[in-house]
Amino acid sequence: MSSKLVPSDPASVMVIRDVVPRVITTLSVPFWRFGRVKIGGRGTIVRLQSGSLAVFSPVALTDDVKAKVSELGEVKYIAALDAEVHILLSRHFLQLD
């Protein structure tokens, strides 16, 4: 991960919050837009009616995030909605079968 965009140890600053238990979970972490403006980043995990999970704007795949995903179910969809979010996608795709 680029140290100019995300913290060097995202696990130490990440906040995982169950907004709607077992349906919507947010993953918040500091993030610097263009490596210059601190705006914060938030990934969201949503359980779909099918039971599959969709991840929007994935954040760093820490051990706590892996545990939360395992607790919730199987990720079927990942949406990275802008160019800077794509820097974290490769680790998430390795988790998909």
Q: Quick check: is 85 in a domain?
A: yes
Percent of the chain clearing pLDDT 90 (strictly above): 45
Q: How far is CA 53 from the centre of its chain?
A: 12
Q: Which range has the top average pLDDT, 2-11, 33-42, 58-67?
A: 58-67
| Structure tokens given for 3 | 């140290």
| Structure tokens given for 42 | 């938030």
pLDDT at 75: 92
Mean pLDDT value across residues 27-52: 85
Q: Quick check: is 17 in a domain?
A: yes
Report the C-alpha gap between 39 and 30 in whole angstroms.
7
Q: Quick check: is 1 in a domain?
A: no
What total number of domains does the chain contain? 1
Report the C-alpha gap between 93 and 97 in whole angstroms.
8
pLDDT at 27: 95
Range of the domain at 88: 10-93
Non-local CB neighbours of 7 within 8 Å, separated by 6+ positions: 13, 29, 30
pLDDT at 96: 56
